[in-house]
Structure 1
Amino acid sequence: MRIHSPESPRWLSLTRYPVGVSCSQAHALEHRQMGRAARLGKRTSSLKLRISKGGFLMGGVFPASMLDKGLQDLQTSQTAISMNCSLPDRVLFSYGMDRQRDRLCLQSLWDFVTAKEPWIKSPFFPVLFSFTAYMAFCLPYIVLDFASIRLPNLRKYKIQPQNYPTLGMMVPCIIQSAYHHVVLIFPVTFLHWYWRPMSLPVMAPELPEVLLEVAVCLLLFDFEYFLWHLLHHKVPWLYKTFHKVHHKHVSTFALTTQYSSVWELLSLGFFAAINPVLLGCHPLTEMIFFLVNIWLSVEDHSGYDLPWSTHRLVPFGLYGGAPHHDLHHLKFKSNYAPYFTHWDKLFGTFTESHSN
């Protein structure tokens, strides 16, 4: 975007931040921000202002922690600058500011993540990230399983209130999950670390971009798992050899989420890992998708229909949730999609679920 300034006949273009300023304003802002960076000694990201006439290049340095303050400084000049801009320029100016706010709302989170860059780039991070997130999401439901036995008011949320998991049922699930993460997932992530090292960009993604790409990744995973799941139920050899392990428990509980065969675990892990790569997602988007995917999987197997469950938040019955998947474990021959209901409805494998 280019904006003509009455203080200078030159045209200014911002290559990273879509805000137009005059030469004097640019020099003053550059000097002010460089002073802050020197005093605070924090990591900086480069901002380049290119003046198209004369080919002069200025390097403005903005610390990430000062981006909010920088925006405030620039916003104070918005009125004066916009008075001398055409209507299209003002529209582009406003659009650029909105995009910058979308990016800045995640920048603090991304700065926190990149501060631990050596650890995140280590081969141990993916397996510990996955197992820790999985157990953390299972923990509230484990507490609920034991508490609802003694508190009758909680039993109304249990989809199959006559069935409760025991400690003897939970421990093998935890042991198997830990074993799979150490023996199977870690070698795979180590090879990935060796052949395709992770690179962490300086800037965070925009919030609308994150929301859109996470939604697309979920829809892709839902479709891929639906086909895989349907095939492994329709072909008896595949079901007995690979998928039957996951159906050991007719009444599901949170820790049964990853109670599965090696083939099933690697297949679903591959689907979850490949989709962000195909979409070219930002590493932060990829992490958020993994967390959302693990949470929704645990919720599906929790065995509880809570007032704030995801299927109650998504309108028009588009999302099946725990009642949808619990019925699959109970009846075996319907509701193959893990999250959404449209594929089961299109293929005629949908069965309406009813609480309790």
Structure 2
Amino acid sequence: MPDTVLPVQRDLLDPDVVALGALAARTGLVPADPLRQPLAEARDAAERYHAFLNGPALPADIREVAADGPAGPLRLRLIQPPGMLEEGRPLPVLIYFHGGGFAVNSIDTHDRLLRLLARHSGAAVCAVAYSLAPERRFPHQRGEALAALRWVVRHGADHGLDPERIAVGGDSAGANLALGLALDAREEPGPPLSFGLLLYGMFAHDFDGESHRLFGDGRFGLTTERMRWYWRQYLGHGGVTRDPAAAPLQADLRGLPPLHVAAAGLDCLRDDSLRLAQRLEQARIPHRLVLHDALPHSFASMTRHVRKAEEAVLLAADAVRRHLRH
């Protein structure tokens, strides 16, 4: 959604997204802007705005648990398709990391998306309430991601989860963590990960590509300026890195599970996903790249209002279902 005074190019943007922006404006809601608000206010604004996007909660079975994180308990939320608990069969599980530039948002802001993924994939979703930056910075979140995986492997069966059918997923900054966890999981004992779901990921510390030039000015929501700010919060020290653990596009990608990579066509991060697909091709990793050409960053949070966004999420959920079926 636009966060500047620059005009929206309505001929490029899906009409449902334009209508959603107008509806939000009429209700007095605007997306959070941590560059122009104190961070605490931006976080509160993000919760309010996403509550409007989410609307009434979709039916699901919810359970709150805690894992042993690198600095104390790590909150996990298990979201399971309605009625599946009574069937007695262990469910495959998608460990999911929400987006928000590592600095805003929560598992609550992503509630509708998480429930949709559970309902349409047939898997339990394990949503990870990882620490936000700058209070906690890289590599702390990578440690929390690994802690979540280890909890599912060691304790998931006690909660009706199948530790041999695990996928990882995330959007934006959460896709960074999901890809990082898939890389770390190669060294973990036990069955390999089955699948990865990466939605408009934040994979590289690079602002010079075509998508930043075309879309980084704010007409379609996310700006290059804000991306620089997010990286500074996450990394500190000026927010510059070539460490592949922080910017996994630079990592050795061999040995990853099959991946579904979804890019938003009107997103300054579009090229992160396109470049990742090229690297996956070079590493001979099975993957599917889907470019949703009329949608902006964060479209997966717009499913109640934007038909093409819902279709994109259902396509992703179907990919999870197919890869975790056996």
TM exceeding 0.5: no
Does 1 or 2 have the higher relative contact order (CA < 8 Å, sep 6+)?
2
Structure number with the higher helix fraction is 1
Q: TM-score range by the shorter chain?
A: under 0.3
- TM-score norm. by structure 1 comes to 0.24
